[in-house]
């Protein structure tokens, strides 16, 4: 159970690091936070 949780956390951390590498130029932290939440599926992408 703990191994599964650690795997999920590590996967999330890797996604955030990936976004951080490509997020150069975001004007503020709020935009970066929204991008992370969209990428992990917490906020749906609006059309």
pTM for this model (two decimals): 0.64
pLDDT of residue 46: 72
pLDDT of residue 10: 94
pLDDT of residue 1: 75
CB atoms within 10 A of CB 38: 14
Per-residue pLDDT tens digits for 1-47: 788 889 889 999 998 898 888 877 777 888 888 888 888 888 887 74
pLDDT of residue 29: 86
Contacts of 32 (CB under 8 A, 6+ apart): 19, 20, 23, 26
pLDDT of residue 13: 92
């Amino acid at each position: 159970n703990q191994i599964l949780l650690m795997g999920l956390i590590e996967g999330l951390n890797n996604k955030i690091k990936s976004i951080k590498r490509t997020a150069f130029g975001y004007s503020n932290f709020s935009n970066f936070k929204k991008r992370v939440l969209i990428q992990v599926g917490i906020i749906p992408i609006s059309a």
